[in-house]
Amino acid sequence: MSALDSMCRTAIYVLLFAVLAASGAFAAPGKATDRVHHKAAATRARHAQRAHHTLTARGKRQSTATHLRVQDRARGTHRRAHRRGLHARRQEVSLRLPRAGMSTPLRGSLESLERQNTRLDAEGLERIEDEADLEDRIAHNQLVAVPVSNGLAVNPDLPAAHRYCRPWTARFLADLAQAHEAAFHRPLEVSSAVRTVEYQKHLMQINGNAAPAEGDIASPHLTGATVDLAKKGLSRAEIAWMREHLLELQTAGKIDVEEEFRQACFHITVYKEYAPSLAGDGPAAPATSQQNAAPAAVANAQGL
């Protein structure tokens, strides 16, 4: 081997080494680039993840907000529908202006008015035609005075001749007023009692809300079995007490009640069943028996 050969071989090795070294040197930046790429990818991934979380959170928030809005809207719609339903029901069952917060059974209705008339007819109660008819029935004890007491007053505007009712209605008034007074220490007030057909026709002329004087939905006041108790001046607790008491008696079939809002009263028709002992048909009971049955009523009748 010549020296030249040896030098050439060395040069080739050097070149080879240089090439290898160079490829290694190129490889290093490549790795660095990869690292940069990886780093960038990791950053992007983190950002993407963060963005995802943010979006998800926002999405969740939005979704929750949307859900709540939908719920609210649903509730609103439900409330409105409920109100509309109540309103429709009220319009359907009440002849007069109703208000919320009471149970339906005491609301006035055509059905209730017809029921009162049907039942009063079945009890054989005639309508009182005029003042002469009224006086005659009072004289025969078919009608007794509203039993005024510490627990029961009469609207001062009510004509003296109209402060009368059927004996069993007087008993009901006395019982109710006594129980009310025991609970609240103040009187109830009768705002209307017996009416004559003649007077009811007059009421119809001056009050568009007055019931007819004749027919199936004639005013039950014409029989003397019905009274109105004023709501004016009663506290919420007293009104609640009245509703509870009256509903119980209505459920027992002893009375029919229409809670009126325009005229603010409880319109109550009392049936003979409330006090059968006072409802003897045929000739009027003697005065002594009336006194035993409804002393306050008779006392007041004598006082008028």
H helices present in the chain, as ranges: 3-93, 110-122, 131-139, 167-184, 197-206, 236-251, 287-293, 295-303
Window contacting Zn ion (CB under 5 A); options: 85-93, 97-105, 174-182, 263-271: 263-271
Q: Are 262 and 230 in contact (CB under 8 A)?
A: no
Window contacting Zn ion (CB under 5 A); options: 72-80, 153-161, 170-178, 262-270: 262-270
Which burial class, exposed, middle or buried, applies to 187 when counting CB atoms under 10 A from its CB (0-12, 13-18, 19+)? middle
List the one residue out of 155, 172, 154, 164 whose CA is nearest residue 193. 164
Angstrom distance (rounded) from CA 248 to CA 240:
12
Nearer to Zn ion, 268 or 294 (CB): 268
Nearer to Zn ion, 194 or 279 (CB): 194
Window contacting Zn ion (CB under 5 A); options: 34-42, 83-91, 164-172, 227-235: 227-235
Question: Does the footprint of Zn ion cover residue 256 (CB under 5 A)?
Answer: no
Nearer to Zn ion, 34 or 111 (CB): 111
| Beta-ladder partners of 228 | 192, 267
Nearer to Zn ion, 107 or 267 (CB): 267
Nearest approach in angstroms of CB 123 to Zn ion is 18
Nearer to Zn ion, 264 or 284 (CB): 264
Question: Does the footprint of Zn ion cover residue 189 (CB under 5 A)?
Answer: no
Window contacting Zn ion (CB under 5 A); options: 110-118, 150-158, 178-186, 221-229: 221-229
Q: Are 115 and 267 in contact (CB under 8 A)?
A: no
DSSP string for residues in 256-291: EEEEETTTTEEEEEEPGGGSGGG---SSPPPHHHHH
- Interface positions, 8-37, toward Zn ion (CB under 5 A): none
User: Which amino acid belongs to residue 284?
Assistant: A
Question: Does the footprint of Zn ion cover residue 267 (CB under 5 A)?
Answer: yes
Nearer to Zn ion, 180 or 267 (CB): 267
Q: Which residue lies nearest Zn ion, judged by its C-beta?
A: 267
Half-sphere exposure of 261 (CA within 13 A, CB side): 15
Size of the site for Zn ion (CB under 5 A): 2
Nearest approach in angstroms of CB 137 to Zn ion is 19
Q: Are 266 and 244 in contact (CB under 8 A)?
A: no
Window contacting Zn ion (CB under 5 A); options: 85-93, 138-146, 165-173, 220-228: 220-228
Binding residue for Zn ion, selected from 189, 228, 256, 259, defined by CB under 5 A? 228
Residues of this chain that bind Zn ion (CB under 5 A): 228, 267
